Structure 1
Amino acid sequence: MKQSIFTGSAVAIVTPFKDGGVDLEALGKLLDFQLENGTDAVVVCGTTGEASTMTYQERAETIEFCVRHVGGRVPVIAGSGSNSTENAVTLSREAERRGAGTLLVVTPYYNKASQSGLLRHYRTIADAVSLPIILYNVPSRTGVSIAPETCAALAEHPNIAGIKEASGNLGNIQRIRALCPGDFTVWSGNDDETVPICALGGKGVISVAANILPAEMHRLTQLCLKNDFAAAGELQVHLKEFCDAMFCEVNPIPVKTALGLLGWRVGELRSPMCPPSGENLARIKAVLAKYGLPVT
């Protein structure tokens, strides 16, 4: 029986940059804010953390800092995916060495692997480490989707614990739930699909919005886990406009911009990410004001 990594809301935390490197002091303050507001787990060096623009050394040091700062209070999940299986193995082994408790491994991007290729990719990584692995299905960014049947085959591996589902395909998520064993966990990878995925048996969300609204995302998942879907649905609808604004441009442009507007020291976006358009900047400011968040 596989243990569930976490239930509730995990923040896909941004990576603050300063003077060309990672601002670990600022990251510590962001982590404290999350822990003080009920976040159930932390995902470091994921998509929202701009891991694809970080060096391997930066990723390793950031994971190690996060593990040390969190100090076991909540699970720390490290992004260790790559479009090269060999590189993903290297990143995964290093994340394990640096103390991460779980790995989040995105599908290999650009290569557009076949389902057979995905099976080989994930099994090779899972065989190379002793940590539990969360599959990450986000075809809008990678160009490939994990089929439910592939997910079921991967779920047989003792180190593959669940999937972060950001495909937006609720039909496929139902197939995953039907085909995979009960100890294989599904988490929403889209903030605005948290309630429907939890209604299908999901155990929470890996959230972008939680960078700014950690208490609200925690409460949303707790309502779902208590089967109070009437109240959860109302809160999901209330948060919809905010969630949409956080994706008005490619993640993490809006959420990192919003954090900066709220006075958090997050630094620059790394190229090829760039500041939002004037129109979207105005939209971000407007939604922060609407949700009672003071822009500095």
Structure 2
Amino acid sequence: MTRIFGPFVAIVTPFDASEDISEPALRRQVERQAKAGNGVFCAGTNGEFYALSFQEKLRVAEICVEAAAGRVPVLAHIGEISTHETIALGKLIEKLGVKAMSAITPSFIACSQSELIDHYRRVADALSKPVYLYNIPARTGNTIQPDTARILADHPNIIGIKDSAGSQESLDAFLAIARERKDFDVLVGADSLVLHGLQNGAAGCISGLGNISPVTLNAIHKSFVAGEAALAAKHQDHYSSLRKQLYAHGFPPALVKRALRLAMPEVGASRAPVLISDEVNEKVREISQRFAEAID
């Protein structure tokens, strides 16, 4: 099974004034990431999957695959609350040409570790494309424990985990599994830990801040691979500074999209009920002016 490496951006889903998907704007965002050398992760947390309908998620994946045109890989998020719906979405999305899929843990339901094991095994059994686990307990209320990930790593169609728990302790526990199991990869979901992950065996990352600073994200990876440790650290420091300043003001996906919108208005606003106050908007504007990177 082909392994997937490098930087991916959890791409925003642009909306027009009626809150409908803006397909031209989405295609331009994919083009922007492709020119920066980053892969695309679509309909994830920063893509507002929680606000998209079943059919919209399919359309977003279809557009991203078409726009990428084989130049960079496209990963798709398929996680739903129920196992049944996750499988149903995955079966349709895998036909569109994505390289792999990632499924967030079920939310609302407080799952035991045995329930998570059963959930992911059933999803992976049902799909032909490879599956990544997706750990983001702050948003779902469910945590994939390292021992659970170690058990699921035995499944031939589960190839790794996207860890967005946000702590080095969590990331290091999954990286330890990756060192034990050469067929199980870790994709870093915490923007402040991209370089730490690479230094300790991560295959790559899936970053939300890459919507704002795609060149810097790619430069962290490129410098690390080239053995330019000081330069990689410099890029990571810049990236971490963006994270610290931006995420201090509220819901990260909404802040990422607003910062990008201030630089590229066509991406639109987050879908309601998400709102950005005038005070926060001005703070984000200043951050966007300093960190947003244009790619022609």
Could you say which TM-score interval applies, normalised by the shorter chain?
over 0.9
Superposed, 1:137-148 pairs within 5 Å as 137-148=135-146
Residue in structure 2 matched with residue 241 of structure 1 by the alignment = 241
Distance (whole Å) between structure 2 residues aligned to residue 292 and residue 73 of structure 1: 23
The answer to whether 1:230 aligns with 2:230 is: yes
Distance (whole Å) between structure 2 residues aligned to residue 232 and residue 70 of structure 1: 26
The answer to whether 1:35 aligns with 2:30 is: no
Residue in structure 2 matched with residue 280 of structure 1 by the alignment = 280
Give the drift of 1:227.
4.3
Distance (whole Å) between structure 2 residues aligned to residue 281 and residue 138 of structure 1: 26
What do the CA deviations read for 1:74-120 (whole angstroms, capped 9, x no partner)? 11111100111111111111111222221011111111211101100
Aligned in 2, Cα 1:241/1:172: closer, same or farther, shift over 3 Å? closer
Residue in structure 2 matched with residue 84 of structure 1 by the alignment = 82
Distance (whole Å) between structure 1 residues aligned to residue 108 and residue 258 of structure 2: 27
What do the CA deviations read for 1:51-76 (whole angstroms, capped 9, x no partner)? 11111111111111111121111111
Distance (whole Å) between structure 1 residues aligned to residue 22 and residue 254 of structure 2: 18
Residue in structure 2 matched with residue 21 of structure 1 by the alignment = 20
Distance (whole Å) between structure 2 residues aligned to residue 287 and residue 201 of structure 1: 31
Question: Structure 1 residues 155-164 or 12-21, which shifts more?
Answer: 12-21
Which amino acid in 1 is paired with 2:258?
A: T
Long gaps (5+) in structure 2: none
> Are the counterparts in 2 of residues 92 and 103 from structure 1 also a CA contact under 8 Å?
yes
Superposed, 1:63-82 pairs within 5 Å as 63-82=61-80
What do the CA deviations read for 1:119-154 (whole angstroms, capped 9, x no partner)? 000001000110011111111111111111110111
Matched position secondary structure for 1:288: helix
Aligned in 2, Cα 1:216/1:28: closer, same or farther, shift over 3 Å? same
Give the drift of 1:171.
2.6
Aligned in 2, Cα 1:152/1:24: closer, same or farther, shift over 3 Å? same
What do the CA deviations read for 1:169-207 (whole angstroms, capped 9, x no partner)? 323333323334022111110111111122221122101
Residue in structure 2 matched with residue 102 of structure 1 by the alignment = 100
Q: 2:115 aligns with which of 101, 114, 117?
A: 117
Matched position secondary structure for 1:74: coil
The answer to whether 1:52 aligns with 2:53 is: no
Aligned in 2, Cα 1:227/1:186: closer, same or farther, shift over 3 Å? farther
Superposed, 1:85-234 pairs within 5 Å as 85-180=83-178, 181-234=181-234
Distance (whole Å) between structure 2 residues aligned to residue 105 and residue 293 of structure 1: 29
Of all paired residues, the percent bearing the same amino acid is 34
Bigger proportion of residues as helix: 2
Which amino acid in 2 is paired with 1:283?
A: K
Residue in structure 2 matched with residue 259 of structure 1 by the alignment = 260
Distance (whole Å) between structure 2 residues aligned to residue 264 and residue 216 of structure 1: 21
Distance (whole Å) between structure 2 residues aligned to residue 46 and residue 246 of structure 1: 19
Output the aligned Cα RMSD: 1.7
Distance (whole Å) between structure 2 residues aligned to residue 285 and residue 218 of structure 1: 23
